[in-house]
Homo-oligomer: A and B are copies of this chain.
Amino acid sequence: MNKRTRSATGYAAWRLIAEELRGDIAGGALAVGDRLPTEQELSERFGVNRHTVRQAVAALAADGLVESRRGSGTYVLGGGIHLHRLGVRTRMSLSLGDRAEASAVRVLDSAIEAPPADIADALRLRGDRAVRVEGMRTVGGRALVRGTHWFDAERFPDIAAVLRRSRSVTAALRSVGVDDYLRVSTTVSARHATADEAADLALEPGAVVLVARGLDALPDGTPLQLVVARFPAQRVALEIEHGGGLGLA
* Measured CA separation A87–B247 after assembly (Å): 16
**CB proximity to B under 8 Å, residues A141-190:** 182-190
* Measured CA separation A184–B195 after assembly (Å): 37
- How many copies the complex holds: the figure is 2
The answer, yes or no, to whether A86 is at the interface (CB within 8 Å) is yes
Whether B206 and A10, one on each chain, are in contact in the complex, defined by CB atoms closer than 8 angstroms, is: yes
The answer, yes or no, to whether A70 is at the interface (CB within 8 Å) is no
Which residues from B are CB-within-8-Å of A245? 244
Whether B10 and A18, one on each chain, are in contact in the complex, defined by CB atoms closer than 8 angstroms, is: yes
Whether A243 and B88, one on each chain, are in contact in the complex, defined by CB atoms closer than 8 angstroms, is: yes
Which residues from B are CB-within-8-Å of A187? 83, 237-240
Whether B182 and A242, one on each chain, are in contact in the complex, defined by CB atoms closer than 8 angstroms, is: yes
**CB proximity to B under 8 Å, residues A199-222:** 204-206, 208-211, 217, 221
Tell me how far the C-beta of A85 lies from the nearest C-beta in chain B, rounded to whole angstroms. Answer: 10
Whether B243 and A242, one on each chain, are in contact in the complex, defined by CB atoms closer than 8 angstroms, is: yes
**CB proximity to B under 8 Å, residues A1-19:** 5, 7-12, 14-16, 18-19
Q: Which residues of A contact B (CB under 8 A)?
A: 5, 7-12, 14-16, 18-20, 22-24, 26-28, 31, 55, 59, 81, 83, 86-88, 116, 118-119, 182-195, 197, 204-206, 208-211, 217, 221, 228, 233-234, 237-249
Which residues from B are CB-within-8-Å of A24? 194
* Measured CA separation A192–B192 after assembly (Å): 9
Closest 10 CB pairs of A and B: A10-B15, A190-B190, A19-B192, A10-B12, A243-B244, A243-B243, A189-B237, A190-B233, A11-B206, A23-B194
Which residues from B are CB-within-8-Å of A83? 187
The listed residue (B55, B192, B204, B239) touching A22 by CB distance below 8 A is B192
Closest residue of chain B to A13 (Cβ to Cβ) is: B10
Closest residue of chain B to A148 (Cβ to Cβ) is: B27
Whether B221 and A208, one on each chain, are in contact in the complex, defined by CB atoms closer than 8 angstroms, is: no
Whether B246 and A194, one on each chain, are in contact in the complex, defined by CB atoms closer than 8 angstroms, is: no
* Measured CA separation A86–B243 after assembly (Å): 12
Which residues from B are CB-within-8-Å of A81? 189
The listed residue (B88, B234, B242) touching A185 by CB distance below 8 A is B242
Whether B11 and A15, one on each chain, are in contact in the complex, defined by CB atoms closer than 8 angstroms, is: yes
Residue of A10, A23, A189 most packed against chain B (CB within 10 A): A10
